[in-house]
Amino acid sequence: MVTLTTSLVLGNLVWSNPTAQAANIFSNDFENENADNWTSTTGTWSVVEEGGNHVYYQSSQNEGRSFSGSYTWTDYSVQADVKIDDFNGTNRTYVCGRYVDGNNYYAASLSNSNGGTLEIRKKVNGSSSTLASKTDFPITTGTAYTVRLELSGDSLKMYVNDVLQLNAHDNILTAGGIGLVAYKTAAKFDNINVTDITTGTPTPTPTIAPTIAPTVAPTATPTASATPTATVAPTVTPTATPTATPVAGSIYVAPNGLDSNTGTFGSPTTLASAITKVAPGETIYMRGGVYTYSSTIIVGQDNSGSSNLRKNIAAYGTEKPILDFYAQPFDPAQRGLQIYGNYWKVKGLEIRGSGDNGIFIGGNYNIIENVETHHNRDSGLQISRYASSLTSMSQWPSYNQIIGVYSHDNYDPDNGEDADGFAAKLTIGPGNVFDKCIAAWNTDDGWDLYSKSETGPIGVVTIKNSISYKNGQTSDGNSTENSDGNGFKLGGEKIAVNHIVLNSIAFQNKKHGFTYNSNPGSIQLTNNTSWSNGQSNFAFDAGTHQFTNNLSFAGGSSDKTSGTDILSTNVWWKSNASTNAKGLVASAADFVSLTPSVVRNADGSFSLGSFLKLTGGSDLTGSGTPSGTNIGATFP
């Protein structure tokens, strides 16, 4: 389908105004003088008046990115009028489709190089490439061009002023929203239209932000001294279509639900209202879409299920509910989802942008499963007491399970020191477990198990089958001097707590991979791998820690390993070399791949492919204890 246009001359700027559209699912001409439908992540964006029109202007000479639309969009065309005021040398301006995040999208590109260049480009996992190009196509400043990118299956087409210029084929990205990128250029955009080009009658989808899965460009397989960069496959959520039938006795909520509604499938209510009404054993089903909040969603301490009848909050079918708290101010009291009750289960949600923690747990026996929490202004998920009057460990949150949760890009704008992926710290009881979780790109630590002298020891925390990487800055590069950047920080203030860390991986964190952080106890570390962290892969300066089958390779500085090397089964990195008490030595040849790859699946599980997997011929394979156990972490 093609959007028909006519041209209207306004001053010295020519913008194309739509006169007829087919199956239009999104449009924006900025004549309401705001960009409410857009989220800018870098650059300086504003709506300005030019020649009687209002346009969306990126004025910074750094890269500017802004996005809109739905992560469920697949086959469509995106069209925009583009005028470049200043190329700032030789740079590009993009109209993007299937925009997942700033590191994953397709783009129709305008450049002033080589007499003017058109390109269809793709960026996947932070690595950009050109799929098709045409040079000697005059692109001049001060002239508006109508640019359209059509995406249909693996077919990509670029039109300029309604003339087909380029064809390409690629099938890596299958869905995503739209984006505008001014790569070091000052550029104006107007009359943005998205047209569904699938067969049949399209159904407009709500305007929501794409799922963010930060990634950076892969590098060649490194030697021991190399420091390659992590690659994470883009997360693209399946189209939000109902995959289940209404369940009797359940409560349904939707972005357009009302407190006064009954909470049936056809009359959905609000989440806040449903939380007050749901009975033990029942489920609150959340329909897909964006739920915008300016205040905390609270489960009070008097609102609990039981051991055999939990209260549940779950995504409906394969739909994706997104709880958006960007409207909250930066404030410790402004959390996203706050759970003080016991025996709740939360599954399948995305939580973003809160003024403090994305999720805060102060109750017991709760389960958080297959949740993504990101871009919050403190830790993505924290477990701590809910009131300072609770002075005994027996009153602190205990036996909570965090399973398959992805916490990333959390950033504390005050000093960068508090935003961890996961914080189980200060005042928690026993039995809290993290399993199959990912912490990445948080400005402070991946995991923080800090204890403090005022309140004493915390309960033992178990972390297993989990990954922590690239902490110390966000995927967009936000960081501060106070950003620690440890993968797993396992203590604080010289207080002994015997935490347990099993079959987990830390790589390319700003500081240490695994650190005792002054915890002088007996932390149990079994079958963990730590690779290419900025300082020590393992930093345990004091204590009687118990090390079994751990693998360290290519750290920034020597490991410190105070404690017991169980049966000489640990391979350390010291004095810039691999060492082991019984002569085992690790090298790059022991790994199938040292090119990072972390793929998170729709069910919250993840796979690493061949990354950090031992080769069949490695002498580390089967050399651990019990006999036949590998050294290091093992994932499917």
Q: Where do the structural domains in the chain lie, given as residue ranges?
A: 4-196, 327-607
Residues of the chain with pLDDT under 50: 1-22, 199-243
154 φ/ψ sector (left φ>0, alpha ψ -120 to 50, else beta): alpha
What is the edge-to-edge ordering of all strands in the sheet holding 289-292? 289-292, 321-324, 350-352, 372-374, 406-408, 438-440, 467-469, 505-507, 529-531, 551-553
Whether residue 591 contacts residue 617, with contact meaning beta carbons closer than 8 Å, is answered with no
What pLDDT does 359 receive?
98
Burial pattern 588-601, b for ≥16 Cβ within 10 A else e, equals eebbeebbbbbbbe
Token pair belonging to 501:
């860390």
Catalytic residue IDs: 489
Place of tokens 């000093």: 415
8 φ/ψ sector (left φ>0, alpha ψ -120 to 50, else beta): beta
Place of tokens 């790059």: 588
Place of tokens 């002498």: 619
Residue closest to 97 by CA, chosen among 18, 145, 168, 47? 168
Token pair belonging to 374:
């990101």
CA–CA gap between residue 524 and residue 344 (Å, rounded): 29
Whether residue 498 contacts residue 460, with contact meaning beta carbons closer than 8 Å, is answered with yes
What pLDDT does 5 receive?
29
Domain 4-196, CATH: 2.60.120.560
CA–CA gap between residue 233 and residue 601 (Å, rounded): 10
Backbone angles phi, psi at 156, to 5 degrees: -125, 130
CA–CA gap between residue 368 and residue 361 (Å, rounded): 10
Architecture of domain 327-607: 3 Solenoid (2.160)
Cis ω before 238 (30° cut-off from 0): no
Give the Å distances, CA to CA, from 487 to 90, 229, 532, 557: 39, 16, 11, 15
Indicate whether this model's pTM tops 0.85. no
Residue 353: DSSP 8-state: -
